[in-house]
Amino acid sequence: MSTTPNLALNEPAYNSTSPTWDQPLNYNATILDQMYGNTTSVSVNTGGSTTYTNIAAPSATAAGSTSQAMRFNLTGALAANQTVLLPQSVAGMWVVTNSTSGAFTITFGSNNGSNAAAGTTVSCPQGYSILVYCDGTNVKKADDGLISSVLAVSSGGTGASTLTANNVILGNGTSAVQFVDPGTSGNVLTSNGTTWISSSLASGGTLIRAPQVLTSTGGGTYTTPAGCNHILIEMIGAGGAGGGTTGNYGGLTYGGGGGGSVFATKYATVAASTGYTYAIGAGGIGGTGAGGAGGTTSITISGTTYSISGGTGGGYGSGGAGTAGTTGSASNMDYTISPVNPVNAYIGGSVDTPYSINIGGWVNRSTGQITSGAYGYGWGAGGGGAYNNAYTGAGALSGGNGYQGMIRIWEYT
């Protein structure tokens, strides 16, 4: 009686009675049952050097731990890369599961009779099951290369062996996928024009409380409330003072109006419950000579100072008109509104917003009274220049003071 080469199925000879026909037929049924349903555990060599582990040859009596099983479960704590070999010249198809531990590889091949691979081999990735076939010499994956331990991007996979928990997956051409982690709490996924990134909200959230108005001239500290991540800053610098005039001049003369400041805004990212240094510029001081410049208004956030300089003072008027002051300027702000400069030399400049107006110098023509320049009125307004309408006998006249700056802050989540 002979057996088949791969499964060792019995082939009883014609008219043979030894053994009786029921015995080889029952063996064959058991072998076929193993082929379609049995898992054989294969203990892989755990030595410290690369060597081989043989899978037992097929048995005509259907022993359980042979190459006739449908599935091989490879076990062991690996200490080196290892090779697992099928019996020489045995063909077939199997499911191979790599259940080993240790950071080493297993190569699967067919024994050439000298405990080495006879032809091509395949790699069995740890923690995975693969389908392989052998023609008696060469071992290959039954999927013909379309599926590996990691499904290729070109086949609809990710090209990655693991996916990071809670990350967003980004396409990456034919390469393995990329990931964006959540980043800071409250971030959103935004495009920078090239890829997607985790970033804070670019524009406001919920308004936390009524706007904070800072008006105390000099320095101070503004503290954000709890939950505040963004602020909108509205800022005005201080106005310059008007210029003074000479006295006892026999003709019309007046000091120049003080320059108004600038209104500007800045949207900034801040930390909650954190103090930030600010300064409110004082208005320029008027006198009988040229007017004083307005002070700078500013706030510093994360090392960057956002500021608006004050307007300059008006020029001294002697024998005619003094030169009008010039406007302040903004630094590091998002949006700026320039002030209205003096159109009459003695009228101070003012910011062209609802926040400020100005009053210039004046003369009471019914009495002929000669006056000093009026104060600028409203945040950042320039003072008026002194006015002399040719009545004699008066002394030198002072220009009006400029008006201080201010900061208004809107707070958002």
**pLDDT score at 179:** 86
Give pLDDT, residue 218.
87
Backbone angles phi and psi of 191, in degrees to 5: -95, 135
pLDDT at 63: 66
Find out whether 25 and 10 touch, Cβ atoms under 8 Å.
Answer: yes
Burial 133-153 (b: 16+ CB within 10 A, else e): ebebbbbbbeeeeeebeeeeb
Residue 266 is encoded by which pair of tokens?
A: 């800045």
Q: What digits encode the pLDDT tens for the residues 65-114? A: 788 888 999 999 999 999 999 999 999 999 999 999 999 999 999 999 99
The radius of gyration computed from the CA coordinates of the chain, to the nearest angstrom, equals 46
| Residue 263 CB burial class (10 angstroms; 0-12, 13-18, ≥19) | buried
Spatial CB neighbours of 100, under 8 Å, sequence gap ≥ 6: 44, 74, 75, 76, 77, 78, 106, 126
- Reference 239, options 340, 383, 132; nearest CA is 383
Quick one: pLDDT band at residue 368, thresholds 50, 70, 90? very low
Summarised one tens digit per residue, pLDDT across range 302-344 is 999 999 999 899 888 887 778 888 888 999 999 888 755 443 4
At residue 258, the 3 state secondary structure works out as: coil
Calpha distance 380→292 (Å, rounded): 13
Ramachandran sector of residue 149 (left: φ over 0; alpha: ψ -120 to 50; beta: rest): alpha
E strands of 243-392, at which residues? 252-254, 263-269, 275-280, 297-301, 304-308, 330-331, 335-337, 339-340, 350-351, 356-358, 376-378, 387-389
pLDDT in tens, 273-293: 999 999 999 999 988 889 999
**3 state SS of 300:** strand
Q: Which of 332, 216, 366, 335 is nearest to 280 (CA)?
A: 216
pLDDT at 353: 38
| 153 has pLDDT over 80 | no
Instruction: Give the model confidence (pLDDT) of 213-255 as tens digits.
Output: 999 998 899 999 999 999 999 999 998 888 888 765 556 677 8
Cis peptide before 225 (omega within 30 of 0): no
- The per-residue pLDDT for 360 is 35
This prediction has a pTM of 0.48
Q: Which of 163-167, 207-211, 382-386 is the most confident on average?
A: 207-211
Q: What angle do CA 236, 329, 313 make, to 5 degrees?
A: 85
Q: Residue 121: which pLDDT band, with cuts at 50, 70 and 90?
A: very high
pLDDT of residue 72: 94
**And the tokens for 339?**
């002030």
pLDDT at 147: 47
> Tell me: the pLDDT tens digits for 15-40?
665 566 666 777 777 777 777 778 89
Q: CA nearest 377: which of 348, 345, 406, 341?
A: 348
Task: Quickly count: other Cβ atoms within 10 Å of residue 127's Cβ.
Answer: 12
